[in-house]
Amino acid sequence: MTKTENNIFNTDNENGGFIEDYLPQEELSELETRVLAESVDRKIEKNRIKLQPGIIKHLIALRKYLFDKNVKWYRKSVVVAALIYFITPVDAIPDFVPFFGYLDDIGVIAWTINFLGKEIKNYY
């Protein structure tokens, strides 16, 4: 994914460049947040059979947290990083590896939920 001239993320790039393009000094725009959320939704739909319902529930809660205007942007940045890791197909254990492809993604999501603690409970 790359950032385009209009500050919108292009999801066609398979290089995983989204992480390099995201600037943690600033909050994502509403459009960028929506694009990220839509990318997460597409990956959930595409891989619903491979993902356990519990993981989908956590991803949906993180997505809701991301859209909450009352959450500080620096708290959201942890969620953004976790969701970017989730939607990136080539990571520590590539998603296409049978049986193990989503273990690292699940670990990152679990760590993020644990990091947010009680803060995330209202989003389930």
DSSP H or E stretch at residue 1: none
Secondary structure percentages of the chain, helix, strand, coil, to 5: 60, 5, 40
Domains in the chain: boundaries: 2-123
Q: Could you tell me which residue, 77 or 4, shows the higher pLDDT? A: 77
Query: In one letter, which amino acid is 58?
Result: H
The pLDDT of residue 61 is above 70: yes
* pLDDT exceeds cutoff 80 at 102: yes
Percent of the chain at pLDDT > 90 equals 32
pLDDT at residue 52 in the model: 83
